[in-house]
Amino acid sequence: PQQKSHHHHFNRFFSETAWLDHHSRSLGLFMDGKFVCPADRQTCSLVDSKGSAVCSTVCAVDHDVSKCVSSAVIGFKAWSSLSCFERAKVLLKMGSVLGQHGQCVSEVCELSKTSCSPSTLLRLLQYYSSWAQLRDSLITDWSPLGVVAVVASDDCSLYSLMQKVVPALAMGNSVVIVPGRSSAPPALLLAQLFMEAGLPSSALSVLTGSDVSLGAKVAQNPNISYVTYSGNKQDGVTLCKATAGLGVPVSVSPCVGATCPFIIFESADIDSAVEGVMETAFKAKKEVQWVLCVQESVLDGVVSRLRLRMAAMKCVALASEGDRAQVDAALQEAQKQGATLLQPCAAPPSGTQFPPTVLCGTAPSSPCVVNPPPGPLLPLMSFRSNTEAVSLANHSPHGQAASIWTEDLTLALETAKSLSVGSVWVNSHSMSDPCLPASGHKDSGTCTDGGQEPSSSSSSPPLPRSSSISMDYSNFGTATSPAVIPNGSDPASAPKSYLQFVGGKSCKSESGSSVAVQSPEGTTVLAYCPDGGRKDVRNAVEAAIKVQPGWMKKSMSARAQSLHSLAKGLEAKRRDIAASINAQTGLSLEEADKEVELSIARLSDWAACCDKIQGGAPVRLPQSGFALSLPEALGVVGVVLPDNRPFLSMVTLLGAAIAMGNAVVMVPSQKHPLPALAFIQVLQSADLPAGLVNIITGSRDQLTAALANHSVLKAIWYWGNAEGCQYLQYTCTSPLKTLWLHCQKEEKDGGMDWTQLRPSHKEEMWRKAVQWKSIWIPTA
């Protein structure tokens, strides 16, 4: 097809009109450092708030995707081969280019209805230029991933998109941006500015389309090494399912549409708190939906101030008639449940204009709290005690952010620690800075944005790229090994029957059946182990949930002490464990003893790490005030263990998970379960709470399916086959689970050498075992 190219310097476009007019208000794709407008492509029109056309963007097709990614591979070679200093220089130069064209960027953002101030982008560039400079000296053994695809939904802001792009570039990756409709024009403009700053021409490309299906097409290209997504949950789930089984890691930040609590305690400065509500709750375009939680003793004062402040407010334009129908339905349902409306004026009977509305006395189960419609609605709930405030705020499936208002610093910090969210703002709201890592907790994401973000580089070997396997997800794990119930013909000569370990007790599986464990040659039955299933996983997770919060709250030195006692217990049973490794894997007794020795050292390593990996140091901010950055336990982690080095790998992963405050449900290697079952006698005598560590044996696929379908598990670490990896990527989307997947081939264990654990592997393990929380405390 005939193609037009625009390749020019930017210095003469200081307004968005001049820039758009230069492109005849028809923006092409951006690849090879220039705009390309292929012929015969569909286009998408972008309209402003008044409904007038702003510009159109091209919808990329398969040929464009293939050409763009091939170009990005060349860009990666050029960009990653530069020194850290040279990459940092380009990012800093981009900051000064952005300074020159800040007005143009602001205006394009405004026209596209994706507000983003150039100063926040400038801060992002400055922060990650420093990481680009320090990468090799501070991040050992890590390497860039390659070509990273950054995908956004239509409602994602430009800042959320660039928060993924800039760190990926800083680590030496090339990036293909697949923006949503509203962020497409500013993303194209910034790509052009990056070229002006000296970025190699193919290191940054922008492919525009009509919906998130383009992101899935890009991810399916075998040259893409990593996919990261920002936007609404629905499109994120679509992307995860479309990329399942391709061997490409996908991380998701569903930052749009999350419900966030805005908590006002009686000790708050009520006027400032109400001012904060007015600033954030009724914006025409907001990424999150706020829920106001007010202490009963100050409820009347807050409502009267809100009534006063809202009196002069006008109706806000909703995006569409469909949004209006959703808002009307949510209001009717809330009023049926007893909520009363606080509005500056009555809502027009039809149309997209709607007044700011507070729903006083909303029930926590109301649809406008659980799944709020888009629009200027603010549900208001009341609470009596501080504990009730926390349980009300944690009731939501989302865990993105919360705003707390109180003059009592102790109360603020206690509440902040108890909330299951990634960012907590004290007497403030909606603040962000790239120096602070924040993870979406619960259903609000599977990755960390901000801080020293190593998801754009890795020390683990990548999953093998492949085509997805045609599989029936509903039947995965249903074909089990033939279960055997050993009869007691001759107890003296019969192989031993082992028990599994759930809730601190040895027990049979719920099914009551067992499976035979073969010798390495496959000629004799060494033992029988329980054939665990869904009910066993349910019992184990229930036991783990009860004990994990208490374990997480233990002091770091107490956790270290417990791990040291586990290492001591292992030392005492050293010969028994070595014998089981020898019988099960065929390793010589001498080699097996070395593996146990290494396992004891590994547990002691994790004990030593307990109080060293703590974060939490106050971070100085460019604004006034300071912030805390805290690594927190994920909760309950499911671990499906590898076949290679079955004992050492189990101890290594167990140590990482519990040292960071998690509880675990472990599935030993189906081929070599005996060393893990022999380890149960060590766990029984250890100083660990009952239920913290659970071991369930049986069919790997069946137990993987049971872990994937348990809603409480936050993360699954998996060593297994390609079908298992694909099943987990497809299934673990509602609620979202953090996955760490390894496809093991025969003796190669997803490429990890358990006997030689490099510092970068250890760092990756503890990072996989935590989620980050940022607590903001402004001083002015």
Percent of the chain with pLDDT over 90: 73
Q: Say if residue 447's pLDDT is above 50.
A: yes
Q: Which amino acid is at 541?
A: V
DSSP states of 573-619? THHHHHHHHHHHH---HHHHHHHHHHHHHHHHHHHHHTTTS---PEE
Token pair belonging to 403: 């705003």
Type and span of the H or E element at 169: helix 158-170
Distance CA 717, CA 715 (A): 7
Residue-wise burial string across 570-580, b where 16 or more C-beta atoms lie within 10 A, e elsewhere: beebbeebbbb
Q: Say if residue 277's pLDDT is above 80.
A: yes
Q: CATH classification of 496-777 is 3.10.450.50, yes or no?
A: no
Q: Say if residue 453's pLDDT is above 60.
A: no
Please name every residue paired with 58 in a beta bridge, in sequence order, or none if there are none. 43
CATH architecture of 259-449: 3-Layer(aba) Sandwich (3.40)
pLDDT digits (tens, 9 = 90+) for 651-663: 999 999 999 999 9
Q: Enumerate long-range contacts of 687-690, CB under 8 Å, 24 or more apart.
A: 687/561, 687/562, 687/565, 687/566, 688/562, 688/565, 688/566, 688/658, 689/504, 689/547, 689/550, 689/551, 690/503, 690/504, 690/505, 690/543, 690/547
Distance CA 149, CA 168 (A): 10
Over residues 82-99, mean pLDDT: 95
Of 528-532, 567-571, 752-756, minimum mean pLDDT range:
752-756
Q: Which amino acid is at 143?
A: S
pLDDT digits (tens, 9 = 90+) for 324-339: 999 999 999 999 999 9
Q: Pick from 384, 419, 388: which is nearest to 404 by CA?
A: 419
* Measured CA angle at 82 (ends 80, 85), to 5 deg: 120
Token pair belonging to 46: 């972008």
For the question of whether the overall pTM of this predicted structure is more than 0.85, the answer is yes
Distance CA 514, CA 507 (A): 12
Mean model confidence pLDDT for the chain: 90
Distance CA 638, CA 718 (A): 8
Residue-wise burial string across 265-286, b where 16 or more C-beta atoms lie within 10 A, e elsewhere: bebbebeebbebbbebbbeeeb
Q: What pLDDT score does 26 carry?
A: 93
Q: Say if residue 495's pLDDT is above 60.
A: yes
Q: What pLDDT score does 143 carry?
A: 83
pLDDT digits (tens, 9 = 90+) for 604-634: 999 999 888 766 566 777 667 888 888 999 9
pLDDT digits (tens, 9 = 90+) for 457-470: 666 677 788 888 89
Residue-wise burial string across 79-110, b where 16 or more C-beta atoms lie within 10 A, e elsewhere: bbebebeebbbbbbbbbebbeebbebbbbbbe
Q: Pick from 399, 453, 386, 136: which is nearest to 259 by CA?
A: 399
Q: What pLDDT score does 758 carry?
A: 85
Q: Which amino acid is at 259?
A: T
What is the DSSP-derived secondary structure letter of residue 769? T
Q: How confident is the model at residue 140 (pLDDT cuts 50, 70, 90)?
A: low
Distance CA 183, CA 194 (A): 16
Over residues 696-721, mean pLDDT: 96
DSSP states of 38-72? ESS--EEEEE-TTS-EEEEEE---HHHHHHHHHHH
Domain with CATH 3.40.309.10 in the chain: 259-449
Q: Pick from 297, 281, 484, 311: which is nearest to 389 by CA?
A: 297
Distance CA 24, CA 537 (A): 60
* Measured CA angle at 166 (ends 117, 255), to 5 deg: 65
Residue 725 to residues 219, 445, 465: CA-CA distances in angstroms? 16, 19, 12
Over residues 39-56, mean pLDDT: 86
- H helices of 226-374, where? 233-243, 270-281, 299-310, 321-336, 367-370
pLDDT digits (tens, 9 = 90+) for 385-412: 999 999 999 998 899 999 999 999 999 9
Type and span of the H or E element at 291: strand 289-295
Contact 254, 176 (CB under 8 A): no
Q: What pLDDT score does 234 carry?
A: 94
Distance CA 566, CA 681 (A): 11
Phi, psi for 250 (deg, rounded to 5): -125, 125
Q: Say if residue 5's pLDDT is above 50.
A: no
Of 69-73, 533-537, 774-778, minimum mean pLDDT range:
774-778
Handedness of CA 531, 532, 535, 539 (dihedral sign): positive
In this structure, the chain runs to a length of: 780
Q: How confident is the model at residue 114 (pLDDT cuts 50, 70, 90)?
A: confident
Contact 432, 774 (CB under 8 A): no
pLDDT digits (tens, 9 = 90+) for 421-446: 999 999 999 988 898 888 889 888 88
By CB neighbour count within 10 A (0-12 exposed, 13-18 middle, 19+ buried), where does 486 fall? middle
Q: What pLDDT score does 202 carry?
A: 94
By CB neighbour count within 10 A (0-12 exposed, 13-18 middle, 19+ buried), where does 740 fall? buried
Distance CA 143, CA 139 (A): 9
Q: What pLDDT score does 266 carry?
A: 97
Q: What pLDDT score does 7 carry?
A: 46
Token pair belonging to 454: 């190593």
Residue-wise burial string across 665-694, b where 16 or more C-beta atoms lie within 10 A, e elsewhere: bbbbbbebbbbbbbbbbbbeebebbbbbbb
Structure-model confidence comparison of residues 694 and 748, the more confident one? 694
Axis-axis angle for helices 574-585, 589-609 (nearest 10): 120
Q: What pLDDT score does 8 carry?
A: 46
Domain with CATH 3.40.605.10 in the chain: 24-231, 496-777
Distance CA 626, CA 647 (A): 44
**Beta-strand pair 663-667/636-640:** parallel
Q: Pick from 526, 467, 473, 519: which is nearest to 498 by CA?
A: 526
Q: Tokens 């928060």 map to which residue? A: 163
Over residues 726-743, mean pLDDT: 94
What class is the 24-231 domain? Answer: alpha beta
Of 22-36, 318-332, 634-648, minimum mean pLDDT range:
318-332
